[in-house]
A and B are shown apart, each in its own frame.
Chain A
Protein backbone atom coordinates (compact mmCIF):
# COMPACT_ATOMS: atom_id res chain seq x y z
CA UNK A 1 0.00 0.00 0.00
CA UNK A 2 2.88 2.32 0.69
CA UNK A 3 2.53 6.01 1.20
CA UNK A 4 -0.65 7.36 -0.30
CA UNK A 5 -0.38 10.65 1.49
CA UNK A 6 -1.70 13.57 -0.48
CA UNK A 7 -1.00 17.19 0.22
CA UNK A 8 -4.06 18.87 1.72
CA UNK A 9 -4.45 22.62 1.82
CA UNK A 10 -7.22 24.63 3.48
CA UNK A 11 -7.76 27.96 1.74
CA UNK A 12 -9.53 30.69 3.68
CA UNK A 13 -10.11 34.35 3.29
CA UNK A 14 -10.37 37.24 5.72
CA UNK A 15 -13.34 38.80 3.96
CA UNK A 16 -16.56 37.64 2.33
CA UNK A 17 -15.72 39.36 -0.94
CA UNK A 18 -12.77 38.76 -3.27
CA UNK A 19 -13.79 35.15 -3.80
CA UNK A 20 -12.39 34.81 -7.30
CA UNK A 21 -8.76 35.25 -6.32
CA UNK A 22 -8.80 32.49 -3.83
CA UNK A 23 -10.72 30.27 -6.20
CA UNK A 24 -8.01 30.77 -8.82
CA UNK A 25 -5.36 29.71 -6.34
CA UNK A 26 -7.49 26.71 -5.35
CA UNK A 27 -7.81 25.58 -8.95
CA UNK A 28 -4.12 26.04 -9.56
CA UNK A 29 -3.27 23.85 -6.60
CA UNK A 30 -5.76 21.23 -7.73
CA UNK A 31 -4.13 21.13 -11.15
CA UNK A 32 -0.88 20.39 -9.35
CA UNK A 33 -2.41 17.29 -7.75
CA UNK A 34 -3.15 18.88 -4.40
CA UNK A 35 -6.37 18.44 -2.43
CA UNK A 36 -7.79 21.87 -1.71
CA UNK A 37 -10.49 22.44 0.87
CA UNK A 38 -12.35 25.69 0.33
CA UNK A 39 -13.04 27.29 3.67
CA UNK A 40 -14.42 30.63 2.57
CA UNK A 41 -14.47 33.61 4.88
CA UNK A 42 -13.35 32.64 8.37
CA UNK A 43 -11.99 34.26 11.50
CA UNK A 44 -8.90 32.70 13.12
CA UNK A 45 -10.73 30.50 15.70
CA UNK A 46 -12.84 29.04 12.86
CA UNK A 47 -9.76 28.51 10.71
CA UNK A 48 -8.17 26.46 13.47
CA UNK A 49 -11.21 24.21 13.85
CA UNK A 50 -11.48 23.69 10.09
CA UNK A 51 -7.79 22.93 9.78
CA UNK A 52 -7.98 20.43 12.65
CA UNK A 53 -11.01 18.62 11.27
CA UNK A 54 -9.66 18.49 7.75
CA UNK A 55 -6.19 17.53 9.02
CA UNK A 56 -4.52 19.73 6.46
CA UNK A 57 -0.82 20.22 5.90
CA UNK A 58 -1.15 23.90 5.03
CA UNK A 59 -3.47 26.79 5.68
CA UNK A 60 -3.54 29.26 2.81
CA UNK A 61 -4.74 32.50 4.37
CA UNK A 62 -5.77 35.17 1.91
CA UNK A 63 -5.89 38.62 3.40
CA UNK A 64 -7.48 41.36 1.35
CA UNK A 65 -9.23 43.80 3.62
CA UNK A 66 -7.68 43.36 6.84
CA UNK A 67 -4.91 43.58 9.20
CA UNK A 68 -2.43 40.80 8.53
CA UNK A 69 -0.31 42.03 11.43
CA UNK A 70 -3.18 41.14 13.77
CA UNK A 71 -4.87 38.19 12.05
CA UNK A 72 -1.82 36.10 11.22
CA UNK A 73 -0.20 36.26 14.68
CA UNK A 74 -3.59 35.45 16.18
CA UNK A 75 -3.84 32.34 14.01
CA UNK A 76 -0.31 31.28 14.93
CA UNK A 77 -1.11 31.77 18.61
CA UNK A 78 -4.34 29.75 18.43
CA UNK A 79 -2.58 26.87 16.70
CA UNK A 80 0.07 26.92 19.44
CA UNK A 81 -2.62 26.91 22.10
CA UNK A 82 -3.91 23.65 20.68
CA UNK A 83 -0.37 22.27 20.44
CA UNK A 84 -0.59 22.00 16.66
CA UNK A 85 2.89 22.17 15.25
CA UNK A 86 2.63 20.45 11.91
CA UNK A 87 0.23 22.74 10.07
CA UNK A 88 2.09 25.38 8.11
CA UNK A 89 0.65 28.79 7.27
CA UNK A 90 0.97 30.46 3.90
CA UNK A 91 -0.21 34.03 3.54
CA UNK A 92 -1.44 35.64 0.37
CA UNK A 93 -3.13 38.83 -0.72
CA UNK A 94 -2.39 42.37 0.28
CA UNK A 95 0.51 42.36 2.70
CA UNK A 96 2.05 45.81 3.13
CA UNK A 97 5.87 45.53 2.88
CA UNK A 98 6.50 46.82 6.43
CA UNK A 99 4.43 43.91 7.75
CA UNK A 100 6.52 41.25 6.02
CA UNK A 101 9.30 41.19 8.65
CA UNK A 102 6.68 40.90 11.39
CA UNK A 103 5.23 37.82 9.71
CA UNK A 104 8.66 36.31 9.06
CA UNK A 105 9.44 36.94 12.70
CA UNK A 106 6.64 34.64 13.78
CA UNK A 107 7.75 31.91 11.41
CA UNK A 108 5.73 32.62 8.28
CA UNK A 109 7.93 31.94 5.27
CA UNK A 110 5.41 31.61 2.48
CA UNK A 111 4.17 35.11 1.75
CA UNK A 112 2.64 35.64 -1.67
CA UNK A 113 1.52 39.07 -2.75
CA UNK A 114 -0.57 39.90 -5.83
CA UNK A 115 1.20 39.01 -9.06
CA UNK A 116 2.64 35.78 -7.67
CA UNK A 117 2.54 32.92 -10.14
CA UNK A 118 0.51 29.93 -9.02
CA UNK A 119 3.48 27.74 -9.86
CA UNK A 120 5.51 29.55 -7.20
CA UNK A 121 2.91 28.67 -4.60
CA UNK A 122 2.84 25.07 -5.84
CA UNK A 123 6.63 24.84 -5.62
CA UNK A 124 6.56 26.27 -2.14
CA UNK A 125 3.92 23.81 -0.96
CA UNK A 126 5.69 20.83 -2.49
CA UNK A 127 9.07 21.68 -1.08
CA UNK A 128 7.73 22.34 2.42
CA UNK A 129 5.44 19.33 2.57
CA UNK A 130 6.42 16.84 5.22
CA UNK A 131 5.39 13.43 3.87
CA UNK A 132 6.23 11.76 7.15
CA UNK A 133 3.16 12.80 9.09
Chain B
Protein backbone atom coordinates (compact mmCIF):
# COMPACT_ATOMS: atom_id res chain seq x y z
CA UNK B 1 0.00 0.00 0.00
CA UNK B 2 1.47 3.30 -1.10
CA UNK B 3 0.12 5.12 1.95
CA UNK B 4 2.05 2.81 4.27
CA UNK B 5 5.35 3.49 2.49
CA UNK B 6 4.69 7.20 2.66
CA UNK B 7 3.82 6.95 6.34
CA UNK B 8 7.10 5.17 7.04
CA UNK B 9 8.95 7.94 5.25
CA UNK B 10 7.51 10.35 7.83
CA UNK B 11 4.58 11.77 5.85
CA UNK B 12 2.02 13.12 8.31
CA UNK B 13 -0.74 13.31 5.73
CA UNK B 14 -0.31 9.61 4.98
CA UNK B 15 -0.29 8.85 8.71
CA UNK B 16 -3.54 10.77 9.17
CA UNK B 17 -5.15 9.00 6.21
CA UNK B 18 -4.19 5.61 7.57
CA UNK B 19 -5.70 6.55 10.90
CA UNK B 20 -8.95 7.36 9.12
CA UNK B 21 -8.91 3.97 7.43
CA UNK B 22 -8.37 2.25 10.79
CA UNK B 23 -11.01 4.43 12.35
CA UNK B 24 -13.56 3.48 9.71
CA UNK B 25 -12.68 -0.17 10.35
CA UNK B 26 -12.49 -0.66 6.62
CA UNK B 27 -11.49 -3.86 4.89
CA UNK B 28 -7.84 -2.91 4.66
CA UNK B 29 -7.28 -2.90 8.43
CA UNK B 30 -5.64 -6.37 8.46
CA UNK B 31 -3.32 -5.40 5.61
CA UNK B 32 -2.22 -2.23 7.42
CA UNK B 33 -1.76 -3.98 10.74
CA UNK B 34 0.30 -6.70 9.12
CA UNK B 35 2.57 -4.17 7.48
CA UNK B 36 3.16 -2.11 10.61
CA UNK B 37 3.37 -4.83 13.24
CA UNK B 38 7.08 -5.60 12.70
CA UNK B 39 7.78 -1.97 13.56
CA UNK B 40 5.94 -1.66 16.86
CA UNK B 41 7.02 -2.00 20.45
CA UNK B 42 9.44 0.90 20.67
CA UNK B 43 7.03 3.48 22.00
CA UNK B 44 6.11 3.81 25.65
CA UNK B 45 2.34 3.81 26.11
CA UNK B 46 0.80 6.09 28.69
CA UNK B 47 -2.92 6.00 29.43
CA UNK B 48 -4.82 8.82 31.11
CA UNK B 49 -8.37 8.27 32.26
CA UNK B 50 -10.88 9.72 34.68
CA UNK B 51 -14.20 11.56 34.73
CA UNK B 52 -14.90 14.29 32.15
CA UNK B 53 -13.74 17.78 33.06
CA UNK B 54 -11.07 16.57 35.44
CA UNK B 55 -8.26 18.21 33.52
CA UNK B 56 -6.96 15.19 31.60
CA UNK B 57 -6.36 17.05 28.35
CA UNK B 58 -4.72 19.93 30.19
CA UNK B 59 -2.42 17.40 31.86
CA UNK B 60 -1.62 15.79 28.50
CA UNK B 61 -0.69 19.23 27.21
CA UNK B 62 1.65 19.87 30.13
CA UNK B 63 3.20 16.40 30.08
CA UNK B 64 3.80 16.76 26.35
CA UNK B 65 5.81 19.94 26.96
CA UNK B 66 8.05 18.09 29.39
CA UNK B 67 8.52 15.14 27.07
CA UNK B 68 9.38 17.44 24.17
CA UNK B 69 11.96 19.24 26.29
CA UNK B 70 13.61 15.89 26.79
CA UNK B 71 13.86 15.61 23.03
CA UNK B 72 11.32 12.81 22.66
CA UNK B 73 8.40 12.80 20.22
CA UNK B 74 4.78 12.38 21.22
CA UNK B 75 1.67 10.84 19.68
CA UNK B 76 -1.64 11.67 21.33
CA UNK B 77 -4.88 9.73 20.89
CA UNK B 78 -7.78 11.46 22.59
CA UNK B 79 -11.01 9.47 22.70
CA UNK B 80 -14.33 11.09 23.54
CA UNK B 81 -17.81 9.60 23.46
CA UNK B 82 -20.06 9.55 20.44
CA UNK B 83 -23.55 10.87 21.08
CA UNK B 84 -25.76 7.78 21.24
CA UNK B 85 -28.65 9.76 19.82
CA UNK B 86 -27.16 11.38 16.76
CA UNK B 87 -24.00 9.39 16.14
CA UNK B 88 -22.11 12.67 16.06
CA UNK B 89 -19.50 13.85 18.53
CA UNK B 90 -17.96 17.00 19.91
CA UNK B 91 -14.27 16.33 20.39
CA UNK B 92 -12.81 18.98 22.66
CA UNK B 93 -9.43 17.62 23.71
CA UNK B 94 -7.24 19.19 21.06
CA UNK B 95 -8.31 22.67 22.08
CA UNK B 96 -6.37 22.21 25.35
CA UNK B 97 -3.22 21.30 23.46
CA UNK B 98 -2.70 24.46 21.45
CA UNK B 99 0.93 24.89 22.44
CA UNK B 100 1.85 21.97 20.25
CA UNK B 101 -0.04 22.74 17.06
CA UNK B 102 3.06 23.78 15.14
CA UNK B 103 5.46 21.25 16.64
CA UNK B 104 5.98 18.45 14.16
CA UNK B 105 7.25 16.25 16.99
CA UNK B 106 3.69 16.10 18.31
CA UNK B 107 0.84 14.39 16.47
CA UNK B 108 -2.63 14.78 17.98
CA UNK B 109 -5.63 12.80 16.86
CA UNK B 110 -9.14 13.08 18.30
CA UNK B 111 -11.36 10.03 18.02
CA UNK B 112 -14.99 9.36 18.82
CA UNK B 113 -16.07 6.06 20.33
CA UNK B 114 -18.52 5.50 17.44
CA UNK B 115 -20.22 2.07 17.68
CA UNK B 116 -18.45 1.13 20.89
CA UNK B 117 -19.93 1.65 24.31
CA UNK B 118 -17.07 3.85 25.33
CA UNK B 119 -13.56 3.54 26.59
CA UNK B 120 -10.78 2.40 24.37
CA UNK B 121 -12.23 1.25 21.09
CA UNK B 122 -10.67 -1.32 18.84
CA UNK B 123 -9.96 1.41 16.32
CA UNK B 124 -8.12 3.45 18.95
CA UNK B 125 -5.95 0.45 19.78
CA UNK B 126 -5.05 0.12 16.10
CA UNK B 127 -4.17 3.83 16.01
CA UNK B 128 -1.85 3.41 19.00
CA UNK B 129 -0.01 0.70 17.06
CA UNK B 130 0.21 2.92 14.03
CA UNK B 131 1.70 5.86 15.94
CA UNK B 132 4.16 3.42 17.49
CA UNK B 133 5.19 2.14 14.06
CA UNK B 134 5.41 5.72 12.78
CA UNK B 135 8.15 6.19 15.37
CA UNK B 136 6.64 8.25 18.18
CA UNK B 137 8.62 7.78 21.39
CA UNK B 138 5.74 8.23 23.78
CA UNK B 139 2.08 7.69 23.02
CA UNK B 140 -0.46 9.25 25.33
CA UNK B 141 -3.97 7.87 25.24
CA UNK B 142 -6.74 9.91 26.84
CA UNK B 143 -10.09 8.25 27.51
CA UNK B 144 -13.08 9.19 29.59
CA UNK B 145 -13.26 6.83 32.54
CA UNK B 146 -16.55 6.66 34.36
CA UNK B 147 -17.73 3.09 34.24
CA UNK B 148 -16.70 -0.48 33.59
CA UNK B 149 -16.43 -0.17 29.84
CA UNK B 150 -13.55 2.24 30.16
CA UNK B 151 -11.39 -0.08 32.17
CA UNK B 152 -9.92 -1.81 29.15
CA UNK B 153 -7.32 0.94 28.94
CA UNK B 154 -5.23 -1.12 31.33
CA UNK B 155 -4.97 -3.87 28.75
CA UNK B 156 -3.61 -1.49 26.16
CA UNK B 157 -1.00 0.72 27.83
CA UNK B 158 2.11 0.43 30.01
CA UNK B 159 1.31 3.03 32.67
CA UNK B 160 -2.21 4.09 33.68
CA UNK B 161 -2.87 7.49 35.23
CA UNK B 162 -6.26 7.94 36.88
CA UNK B 163 -7.16 11.62 37.23
CA UNK B 164 -9.63 12.68 39.91
CA UNK B 165 -10.73 16.06 41.18
CA UNK B 166 -12.13 17.20 44.48
CA UNK B 167 -15.75 17.90 43.66
CA UNK B 168 -18.57 18.58 46.03
CA UNK B 169 -20.27 15.36 46.94
CA UNK B 170 -17.58 13.26 45.33
CA UNK B 171 -15.95 11.00 47.84
CA UNK B 172 -13.53 8.18 47.43
CA UNK B 173 -16.24 5.82 48.62
CA UNK B 174 -18.42 6.59 45.63
CA UNK B 175 -15.59 6.19 43.21
CA UNK B 176 -16.03 3.44 40.71
CA UNK B 177 -14.29 0.39 42.08
CA UNK B 178 -12.70 -0.32 38.73
CA UNK B 179 -10.91 3.01 38.51
CA UNK B 180 -9.33 2.22 41.85
CA UNK B 181 -7.87 -1.01 40.59
CA UNK B 182 -6.44 0.12 37.29
CA UNK B 183 -4.37 3.08 38.49
CA UNK B 184 -0.60 2.86 38.47
CA UNK B 185 -0.51 6.50 39.51
CA UNK B 186 -3.32 8.58 40.96
CA UNK B 187 -3.52 12.24 40.10
CA UNK B 188 -5.62 14.55 42.22
CA UNK B 189 -5.89 17.47 39.82
CA UNK B 190 -7.34 20.90 40.58
CA UNK B 191 -5.30 20.83 43.76
CA UNK B 192 -6.02 24.56 43.99
CA UNK B 193 -9.50 23.61 45.10
CA UNK B 194 -10.71 22.98 48.55
CA UNK B 195 -10.78 19.34 49.52
CA UNK B 196 -7.84 18.28 47.37
CA UNK B 197 -5.51 17.55 50.27
CA UNK B 198 -8.22 15.59 51.99
CA UNK B 199 -9.00 13.58 48.88
CA UNK B 200 -5.34 12.76 48.34
CA UNK B 201 -5.07 11.73 51.99
CA UNK B 202 -8.08 9.43 51.77
CA UNK B 203 -6.69 7.86 48.63
CA UNK B 204 -3.34 7.20 50.27
CA UNK B 205 -4.98 5.57 53.25
CA UNK B 206 -7.07 3.40 51.02
CA UNK B 207 -4.08 2.43 48.89
CA UNK B 208 -2.05 1.51 51.95
CA UNK B 209 -4.80 -0.87 52.94
CA UNK B 210 -4.91 -2.55 49.59
CA UNK B 211 -1.56 -2.72 47.92
CA UNK B 212 -2.02 -4.67 44.72
CA UNK B 213 1.54 -5.32 43.66
CA UNK B 214 4.69 -6.06 45.57
CA UNK B 215 6.92 -4.17 43.19
CA UNK B 216 4.96 -0.93 43.01
CA UNK B 217 3.24 1.23 45.58
CA UNK B 218 0.68 3.40 43.76
CA UNK B 219 1.53 7.06 44.43
CA UNK B 220 -0.98 9.88 44.73
CA UNK B 221 0.18 13.07 43.02
CA UNK B 222 -1.39 16.48 43.47
CA UNK B 223 -1.40 18.75 40.42
CA UNK B 224 -2.76 22.02 39.12
CA UNK B 225 -2.66 21.28 35.43
CA UNK B 226 -3.80 24.70 34.27
CA UNK B 227 -1.03 26.36 36.30
CA UNK B 228 1.62 23.81 35.44
CA UNK B 229 2.07 22.93 39.09
CA UNK B 230 3.12 19.42 40.11
CA UNK B 231 3.66 18.26 36.55
CA UNK B 232 7.43 17.72 36.80
CA UNK B 233 6.87 15.57 39.87
CA UNK B 234 4.14 13.66 38.07
CA UNK B 235 6.36 13.04 35.09
CA UNK B 236 9.14 11.84 37.39
CA UNK B 237 6.72 9.27 38.83
CA UNK B 238 5.75 8.11 35.35
CA UNK B 239 9.44 7.56 34.55
CA UNK B 240 9.89 5.85 37.88
CA UNK B 241 7.03 3.47 37.14
CA UNK B 242 8.47 2.69 33.73
CA UNK B 243 11.90 2.01 35.27
CA UNK B 244 10.41 -0.29 37.89
CA UNK B 245 8.44 -2.18 35.24
CA UNK B 246 11.63 -2.59 33.23
CA UNK B 247 13.82 -3.62 36.14
CA UNK B 248 11.35 -6.16 37.50
CA UNK B 249 10.57 -7.64 34.12
CA UNK B 250 6.99 -6.54 34.43
CA UNK B 251 7.03 -4.43 31.31
CA UNK B 252 7.33 -7.54 29.19
CA UNK B 253 4.58 -9.18 31.26
CA UNK B 254 2.30 -6.23 30.53
CA UNK B 255 3.20 -6.15 26.87
CA UNK B 256 2.49 -9.85 26.64
CA UNK B 257 -0.94 -9.28 28.19
CA UNK B 258 -1.57 -6.48 25.72
CA UNK B 259 -0.86 -8.89 22.86
CA UNK B 260 -2.99 -11.60 24.48
CA UNK B 261 -6.04 -9.42 24.81
CA UNK B 262 -5.47 -7.99 21.35
CA UNK B 263 -5.48 -11.47 19.82
CA UNK B 264 -8.42 -12.63 21.93
CA UNK B 265 -10.45 -9.62 20.86
CA UNK B 266 -9.72 -10.08 17.18
CA UNK B 267 -10.65 -13.77 17.30
CA UNK B 268 -13.73 -13.04 19.36
CA UNK B 269 -14.89 -10.39 16.95
CA UNK B 270 -14.42 -12.62 13.93
CA UNK B 271 -16.27 -15.52 15.49
CA UNK B 272 -19.03 -13.22 16.63
CA UNK B 273 -19.40 -11.77 13.14
CA UNK B 274 -19.61 -15.28 11.71
CA UNK B 275 -22.17 -16.39 14.26
CA UNK B 276 -24.33 -13.37 13.62
CA UNK B 277 -24.06 -14.07 9.91
CA UNK B 278 -25.05 -17.74 10.44
CA UNK B 279 -27.92 -16.87 12.74
CA UNK B 280 -29.38 -14.61 10.11
CA UNK B 281 -29.13 -17.35 7.47
CA UNK B 282 -31.34 -20.40 7.36
CA UNK B 283 -29.93 -23.51 9.00
CA UNK B 284 -29.38 -25.11 12.38
CA UNK B 285 -28.76 -21.77 14.01
CA UNK B 286 -31.98 -20.22 12.88
CA UNK B 287 -33.87 -23.34 13.95
CA UNK B 288 -32.44 -22.89 17.44
CA UNK B 289 -33.27 -19.20 17.47
CA UNK B 290 -36.84 -20.05 16.57
CA UNK B 291 -36.99 -22.64 19.37
CA UNK B 292 -35.75 -20.04 21.86
CA UNK B 293 -38.28 -17.55 20.61
CA UNK B 294 -41.05 -20.11 20.92
CA UNK B 295 -40.02 -20.90 24.47
CA UNK B 296 -39.10 -24.50 23.64
CA UNK B 297 -35.54 -24.13 24.81
CA UNK B 298 -33.48 -21.61 26.78
CA UNK B 299 -30.42 -19.91 25.23
CA UNK B 300 -27.96 -21.71 27.52
CA UNK B 301 -29.17 -25.14 26.50
CA UNK B 302 -29.22 -23.98 22.91
CA UNK B 303 -25.59 -22.93 23.18
CA UNK B 304 -24.77 -26.40 24.55
CA UNK B 305 -26.36 -27.90 21.47
CA UNK B 306 -24.22 -25.71 19.29
CA UNK B 307 -21.05 -26.66 21.11
CA UNK B 308 -21.82 -30.36 20.87
CA UNK B 309 -22.60 -30.23 17.17
CA UNK B 310 -19.35 -30.60 15.24
CA UNK B 311 -20.90 -29.62 11.96
CA UNK B 312 -22.23 -26.34 13.30
CA UNK B 313 -18.94 -25.62 15.00
CA UNK B 314 -17.01 -26.20 11.82
CA UNK B 315 -19.41 -23.99 9.97
CA UNK B 316 -18.89 -21.18 12.49
CA UNK B 317 -15.26 -21.33 13.27
CA UNK B 318 -13.67 -22.41 10.01
- Residues of A near B98 (CB, < 8 A) are 40-42, 46
In the docked arrangement, what's the CA distance between A30 and B85, Å?
10
In the docked arrangement, what's the CA distance between A49 and B102, Å?
7
Q: Identify the stretch in B106-114, B186-194, B251-259, B281-289 within 8 Å (CB) of chain A at 4 or more residues.
A: B106-114
In the docked arrangement, what's the CA distance between A54 and B12, Å?
10
Instruction: Indicate whether B83 reaches chain A with its CB closer than 8 angstroms.
Output: yes
Q: How far is the CB of B256 from chain A (nearest CB, A)?
A: 29
Q: How large is the interface on B (under 10, 10 to 19, 20 to 34, 35 or more residues)?
A: 20 to 34
- Residues of A near B90 (CB, < 8 A) are 26-27, 30, 36, 38
Specify the main secondary structure of chain A where it touches its partner.
mixed
Q: Closest residue of chain A to B101, judged by CB?
A: A46
Write out, one digit per residue, whether chain B residues 143-165 have a CB within 8 A of any chain A CB (1) or not (0): 00000000000000000000000
Instruction: Indicate whether A53 reaches chain B with its CB closer than 8 angstroms.
Output: yes
In the docked arrangement, what's the CA distance between A5 and B107, Å?
22
In the docked arrangement, what's the CA distance between A1 and B123, Å?
13
Q: Closest residue of chain A to B26, judged by CB?
A: A1
Are the CB atoms of B102 and A45 closer together than 8 Å?
yes
Q: How many A-B residue pairs have CB under 8 A?
A: 87
Are the CB atoms of A38 and B89 closer together than 8 Å?
no
In the docked arrangement, what's the CA distance between A102 and B104, Å?
32
Are the CB atoms of A4 and B87 closer together than 8 Å?
no
Instruction: Indicate whether B36 reaches chain A with its CB closer than 8 angstroms.
Output: no
A and B contact pairs by CB, cutoff 8 A, 27 listed: A5-B24, A6-B114, A29-B88, A31-B83, A32-B86, A34-B88, A35-B88, A35-B91, A36-B90, A36-B91, A37-B91, A38-B92, A38-B94, A39-B94, A42-B101, A45-B102, A46-B98, A46-B102, A49-B101, A50-B94, A50-B108, A52-B12, A53-B12, A53-B16, A53-B107, A53-B108, A54-B16
Q: Which residues of A contact B (CB under 8 A)?
A: 1, 3-6, 26-27, 29-42, 45-46, 49-50, 52-55, 82, 84
Q: A3-B26, A31-B83, A37-B110 are in contact. List 14 more A-B contacts (CB 8 A).
A: A3-B24, A6-B24, A6-B114, A31-B86, A35-B91, A35-B112, A38-B95, A40-B95, A45-B102, A52-B12, A52-B16, A54-B109, A54-B110, A84-B13
